[in-house]
Structure formats: structure tokens, C-alpha cells
Amino acid sequence: MQLSPKIRNAIALASLCVSANALAEPAKIGMITTLSGGGASLGIDIRDGFELALKERNNQLGGIDVDMIIVDDGRKVDNAKQIARRMVERDQVDIMTGIVWSNLAMAVIPSVTADGTIYISPNAGPSLLAGKRCHPNYFNVAWQNDNLHEAMGQYVSDKGYNKVYLIAPNYPAGKDALAGFKRFYKGQIAGEVYTKLGQVDYAAEIANLRAENPDAVFFFLPGGMGINFTKQYAQAGLKESIPLFGPAFSFDEGILKAVGDAAIDTMNTSQYSHDLDNSANKAFVAKFMETYGRKPSLYASQGYDAALLLDSAFRAVGSDYKNREKFRAALAKADFSSVRGDFRFGPNQHPIQSIYVRKVVREGDSVTNQLVGTVFTQHQDAYASECKMK
């Protein structure tokens, strides 16, 4: 086959580039996240946050070239499992990250960490992985699943509410959420309802709830379920009489855009807020808005922090990053300025961090979160003591 000189030059150039890179041996990072179908906005936020950090550093982390492999799992366990195996066996990635959902995380993380891959969780934090099944190769840079609910339990108690109604979907994360809330909430429980996963209409639950006449409502309904519930709750005219409380998952920037005024004045707990007053966060928010034209959500901040954590570890060990032992030690130090302020790892390699409470307010044309206070400082999850790291 005859190639035109132009193409031949291009090939020569390309192979030159490849060999130049090969000298530095780029670190391989695999990201499995949800980019298509329902719930894609969370995965997109995580990816965008992570990629922003990479872009700022010319596609390097800690001075090491990075080879990113990003694959969409479509929120399917089976897909995530297959992609994870491909990344471990074929691509031989050094580090994995990206999974949004607890059920996908439970399917993937135990086996990849057992195979010796480092996993940095930018979102899901199932209790098993924080406790009995913790692993030296597993780091969680977001939260343990219960954290935000625990904070809300504390906050609602602090505010003197004494008869709270609880709603969550009928699946493990829903039950964990209410358990987390109850761990710190001291008052009475007016009622406890488990709804269908993916439920669209909450009229029946809202009517029952009104009949119980509680003085507050705590709900954990992530994604679209939360949008449905918040809108319907406001339309039932209850928002003013019975205040609504929930974790940040139903109040991220994307969801607030969809819910609008119906969410105003509700309180939510989060480990991050875009108006947190620290220099790392200010720079991040400005850069994120400039690059993507929207406010960063907590998911975006977690993606960004995951990249910053890796950046710090790569910087510490340099080209020696293949040495797992050294790399893990560097990661465990968490020597980076998190956009959420103070951050360090507990013995189970889950965050010890502050949890804040935010209020939904109108700001010009848009509805957004405003930081109003801190519920916990240096809060650790309840499972750390069950973790016996080998």
C-alpha cells in the first residue's frame, strides 16, 4: 500500500509522540460513571469536576502524565462489572474512580481492590465498605452514606423539633438513611414510610403525613423522586406549615433549577457548598463556572477533590507510584486543600470532615443554596470501629 508523504509524516510524528510519552510512562486512571440514561447528571458532574482538575494541570497529576479512560456504565450493575474487569485485566489501570451509585459500588469495588487496584470513591460510601469490608486500596473522598443524614438528625434535634415524619425509598440506602438520621435525632417519630423506588406520585404519602400532623418532615428521595416529592409537597400547601428537611442529594444545583420556588426555605445538609469561604473553593467555583457555564454541585466538588487527592499523592511519590505501599501511604495523608475546607482520612480511609447546613434561597433569577451553619466539625462515620484494616 502506498501512503502519501503527508500521511507518512503524520504517522511518524504520532509514533514520536507515543515514544516520548512512553519514557514518562503515564499513569492509567479508569473512570466508570453514569453518563447516559436516568441519573446521568450526577456522573457528568463528577467527570467534569475531575477533568477540570486535569485540565488545570495540563493533563498531569503531581507532574505525572495521566492516561484517562472514561466509560459509561448506563447505571447498570452488569455493565459496570464488565467495564471494571476490562480496566483491571486488559487496560491494567493503576487507579479507578467514578462510580455514582452504592449498588454499583458494592458490585465493583470489593473485587477491584482485592485485585490490587487503588479505588477512589467520588460518591458512593456503603456502610459495609466503611466497616467490615474496608480495604487498604479503597479510599472514599466523598462521605460515608449515612453522614449527611446523621447531620440532619442532629440539626433537627438542635432546632427543637420533636415530632418528625420520615420518608425514604424501600431499598437499602433508604433504610440506611433513616437509620443514620435516627442515630442523632432524639425526638419522637411521627411516622416512617418506605416508598417504591422510582415512585412518581406522592399524593397518598403527603395526605397521610398531614393527618399525622408532625412538626417537621425528613425525606431522603434522591434524583427525580426528590423533585417529584418537593414539588407536590409545596403544591399541597404544606411547605410553610411543616418544614422540610433533607440531605443535599435532593437539593443540588441541577435539581434546584428544576424545582424552583417550591424548594425555597427548605434546609439541607451537605459536606460542600459553592459559597464556602476558602480560597481553594473560590478558585474552583470560578473556574468551573467559566468552563461549564453552571454552578458546581457537590458531585462536581467530589470529582474535583478526587483528582486533587491523586495529585497530592503523585506529587509525593513521583514516578514511584507503582509501588502500592508508598502510594497508599501518600494518599492516606490527604495532603491537599479540599474545596470543602478541612479534610482528612480516618483509619478506615473515609473522610473526617465538617458537615454544613444550607438553606435554599432565591438569588436573582435562580434558586440556589446558601450556607447557614455547621452541624458537625471533624465528623467521623459510625462504622470506622468495625474496620480492621489488614
Partner 1 sequence: MLFLEQLLNGVQLGMMLFLMAAGLTLIFGIMHLINLAHGSLYMVGAYFTATVTVMSGSFAIGLFGGCVAAACCGVLIELLAMRHLYHRDHLDQVLATFGIILTANEATKMIFGPQALFLNPPDWLSETVQILPDTPYPAYRLFVIISGIVVALFLRHLITHTRLGMLIRAGATHREMVTALGFNISLLFTVVFALGAGLAGLAGGLAGPLLAIEVGMGEQILILTFVVIIIGGIGSVKGALVAGLLVGIVDTLSRAFLPTLLKTMLPTASADALAGSVSSMAIYIVMALVLIVRPEGLYRAYGT
Partner 2 sequence: MEPSLSRGTLVRFAIFAVLVVLPWIAHAMDDPFWITIATRMLIYGLAAMSLDLILGYGAMVSFGHAAFFGLGAYVVGVLTHHNFYDEVIPFLPIEWVGSMSAFVQWPLAMLVSGFIALLIGVLSLRTQGVYFIMITLAFAQMLYFFMIGLPDYGGEDGLNLWQRSEIPGLDLSDSSQFYYVVLVLVSLWFLLSRRVVESRFGRVLTGCRYNEPRMRTLGYPVVRYKLLAFTISAMGTGLAGALMANQNEFVSPSLMAWSTSGELMVMVILGGMGTLIGPLVGAFLLLSFEEVLAGLTEHWMVILGPLLVFSVLFARGGLYRFLVGQRDDE
The reply to whether 248 sits near partner 1 by the rule CB under 8 A is no
Q: Are 272 and 290 in contact (CB under 8 A)?
A: no
Helix, strand, coil tally for the chain in percent (to 5): 45, 20, 30
Which amino acid, one-letter code, is at 44?
I
Q: Which residues in 120-149 contact partner 1 (CB under 8 A)?
A: none
Size of the site for partner 1 (CB under 8 A): 41
- Between 72 and 150, name the residue whose CB sits nearer to partner 2: 72
Q: Please give the residue ranges that form the binding site for partner 2 (CB under 8 A).
A: 35-37, 71-72, 74, 76-79, 81-82, 85-86, 89-90, 102-103, 106-107, 110-111, 126, 170-173, 175, 194, 196-197
Give the cell for residue 149: 443524614
DSSP string for 363-381: ETTEEEEEEEEEEEEEE--
**What is the C-alpha to C-alpha distance for residues 94 and 324, in angstroms, rounded to an integer?**
9
**Contact partner at residue 86 from partner 1, partner 2, none, CB < 5 to 8 Å by partner kind:** partner 2
Looking at residue 384, the DSSP 8-state letter turns out to be G
Query: How many CB atoms lie under 10 A from the CB of residue 176?
Result: 19
Q: Which does 213 bind (CB under 5 to 8 A by kind): partner 1, partner 2, none?
A: none
Q: Is 286 an interacting residue with respect to partner 1 (CB under 8 A)?
A: no
Give the integer Cα–Cα distance in Å for 177 and 183.
Answer: 10
Interior/surface letters 34-53, b for 16+ CB within 10 angstroms, e for the rest:
bbeeebbbbbbbbbbbbbbb
Verify binding: residue 258, partner 1, rule CB under 8 A.
Answer: yes
Q: Which is nearer to partner 1, 37 or 116 (CB)?
A: 37
Closest to partner 1 by CB, 182 vs 328, is 182
Partner in contact with 337, chosen from partner 1, partner 2, none, beta carbon below 5 to 8 Å by kind: none
Q: Which residue in 259, 220, 232 sits closest to 367, CA to CA?
A: 259
Under the criterion CB under 8 A, does residue 172 sit at the interface with partner 1? no
Q: Is residue 203 part of the contact set for partner 1 (CB under 8 A)?
A: yes
Q: Which of 200, 286, 289, 389 binds partner 1 (CB under 8 A)?
A: 200
Those residues whose C-beta lies under 8 Å from the C-beta of residue 374, and which sit 6 or more positions away, are 354, 355, 356, 357
- Give min distance, CB of 51 to partner 1, in A: 15
Site for partner 1 contains 196 (CB under 8 A): yes
Binding residues vs partner 1 (CB under 8 A): 36-38, 40-41, 44, 170, 175, 192-198, 200-201, 203-205, 207-208, 211, 223-225, 227-228, 231-232, 235-237, 254-255, 257-262
